[in-house]
């Protein structure tokens, strides 16, 4: 059975870029399977009254925003279709119209019907962040963040951020197909950052992976004088990893997500594709 990946596309107030289309097609083309993309267009409730119409012409502003959102979606799906055609990738697309506050929830619900969600990470884009957090915590599926600043290459060296926690174990399980397809897997344990169950937890995971036929090795590195996300990404990039696997830490307080430090860090400064799982 082929892997089926899902790509939610933000269109309002700022949209994903065509780099998202390129990276998503490249990622799926290199890792196998098919891709389904949904452009989430905005539907803004009309709450105008006579005064707002007179002062701001609010209905017209709403109409223009919805038209712009729809055009962004059309353009993104067209770019995606073109990229998929050139790559020979199986692609299906659709458009979905939802209120602005529900875009993340709608993306999370649709993600549940696929094996993997891909999110094109656009820095300082609030809609992309909303979608990312909702998919991570509410979809029940793993998510791969694709950075705007990097071109996706072959996923042949996978790094795992390992602290022995439940969410890290969940991420490793969700990354199984990537681990099995990689020529090299490196388990990274950061020491000096927080209390760990034992000193050999990285090697224990590496042994478990090798027993299952995965070429895995373990390394322990010291925490740097900075965010843990910097330590992990810096080391992963230095060793030539193409994908970093890590648990997504956080919880929801009445739909406002409170993120763990490492998760917040990679969302702030994403430098390579990262598989997050909660």
Model confidence band, residue 62 (pLDDT cutoffs 50, 70, 90): confident
Please give the pLDDT value at position 198. 67
CB 241 within 8 A of CB 158: yes
Please give the pLDDT value at position 257. 46
Percent of residues, the chain, with pLDDT higher than 70: 87
User: For the residues 20-40, what does the mean pLDDT come to?
Assistant: 95
Q: Is the pLDDT of residue 272 over 60?
A: yes
The neighbour count for residue 92, using CB atoms within 10 Å, is: 11
CB 112 within 8 A of CB 139: yes
Model confidence band, residue 7 (pLDDT cutoffs 50, 70, 90): very high
CB 154 within 8 A of CB 181: no
Q: CA-CA distances (angstroms) from residue 205 to 140, 163, 176, 177, 209?
A: 23, 10, 13, 16, 6
How far apart, in whole angstroms, are the C-alpha atoms of residue 191 and residue 202? Answer: 11
Which two three-digit tokens encode residue 254?
């009445």
The contacts of residue 225 (CB under 8 Å, 6+ apart) are none
Domains and CATH numbers, the chain: 4-147 (3.40.50.620), 157-277 (3.40.50.620)
Q: What is the DSSP letter of 13?
A: S
- How do residues 106-150 score in pLDDT, each as one tens digit? 999 999 999 999 999 988 899 999 999 899 999 999 999 999 876
CB 272 within 8 A of CB 147: yes
Please give the pLDDT value at position 71. 96
How far apart, in whole angstroms, are the C-alpha atoms of residue 146 and residue 149? Answer: 9
Q: Is the pLDDT of residue 55 over 80?
A: no
Q: How many residues does the chain have?
A: 278
- How do residues 152-197 score in pLDDT, each as one tens digit? 888 999 999 999 999 999 999 999 999 999 999 999 998 876 667 6
Q: Is the pLDDT of residue 8 over 70?
A: yes
User: For the residues 70-74, what does the mean pLDDT come to?
Assistant: 96
Q: Is the pLDDT of residue 5 over 90?
A: yes
**CB-based burial, 164-176: b 16+ in 10 Å, e otherwise:** eeebbeebbebbe
Please give the pLDDT value at position 20. 94
Kindly report the average pLDDT of the chain as a whole number: 88
Please give the pLDDT value at position 102. 94
How far apart, in whole angstroms, are the C-alpha atoms of residue 60 and residue 68? Answer: 12
Question: Of the candidates 9, 275, 36, which has an alpha carbon nearest to the alpha carbon of residue 144?
Answer: 275
Q: What's the burial of 52, exposed, middle or buried (CB within 10 Å: 0-12/13-18/19+)?
A: middle
Question: Of the candidates 124, 91, 115, 132, which has an alpha carbon nearest to the alpha carbon of residue 8?
Answer: 132
Q: What's the burial of 226, exposed, middle or buried (CB within 10 Å: 0-12/13-18/19+)?
A: exposed
The contacts of residue 220 (CB under 8 Å, 6+ apart) are 188, 189, 190, 191, 199, 202
Model confidence band, residue 4 (pLDDT cutoffs 50, 70, 90): very high
Q: Is the pLDDT of residue 57 over 50?
A: yes
Model confidence band, residue 199 (pLDDT cutoffs 50, 70, 90): confident
Q: Is the pLDDT of residue 252 over 60?
A: no
How many alpha carbons fall within 13 Å on the CB side of residue 213? 5
Which two three-digit tokens encode residue 274?
């990262």
Model confidence band, residue 260 (pLDDT cutoffs 50, 70, 90): low
CB 266 within 8 A of CB 145: yes
Which two three-digit tokens encode residue 262?
């490492």
């Amino acid at each position: 059975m082929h892997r089926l990946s899902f790509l939610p596309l933000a269109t309002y107030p700022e949209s994903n870029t065509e780099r998202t289309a390129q990276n998503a097609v490249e990622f799926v083309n290199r890792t196998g399977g098919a891709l389904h993309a949904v452009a989430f267009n905005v539907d803004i409730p009309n709450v105008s009254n006579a005064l707002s119409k007179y002062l701001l012409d609010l209905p017209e502003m709403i109409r223009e925003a919805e038209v712009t959102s729809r055009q962004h979606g059309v353009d993104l799906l067209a770019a995606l279709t073109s990229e998929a055609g050139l790559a020979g990738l199986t692609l299906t697309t659709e458009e979905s119209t939802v209120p602005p506050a529900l875009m993340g929830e709608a993306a999370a619900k649709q993600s549940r019907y696929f094996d993997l969600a891909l999110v094109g990470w656009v820095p300082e884009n609030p809609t992309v962040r909303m979608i990312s957090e909702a998919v991570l915590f509410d979809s029940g599926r793993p998510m791969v963040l694709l950075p705007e600043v990097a071109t996706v290459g072959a996923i042949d060296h996978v790094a795992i951020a390992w602290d022995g926690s439940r969410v890290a174990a969940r991420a490793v399980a969700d990354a199984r197909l990537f681990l099995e397809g990689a020529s090299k897997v490196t388990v990274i344990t950061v020491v000096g950052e927080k209390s760990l169950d034992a000193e050999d937890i990285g090697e224990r995971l590496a042994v478990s992976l090798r027993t299952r036929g995965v070429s895995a090795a373990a390394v322990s590195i010291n925490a740097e004088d900075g965010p843990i996300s910097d330590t992990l990404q810096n080391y992963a990039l230095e060793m030539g990893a193409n994908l970093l696997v890590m648990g997504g830490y956080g919880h929801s307080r009445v739909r406002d997500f409170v993120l763990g430090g490492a998760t917040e860090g990679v969302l702030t400064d994403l430098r390579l594709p990262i598989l997050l799982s909660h």
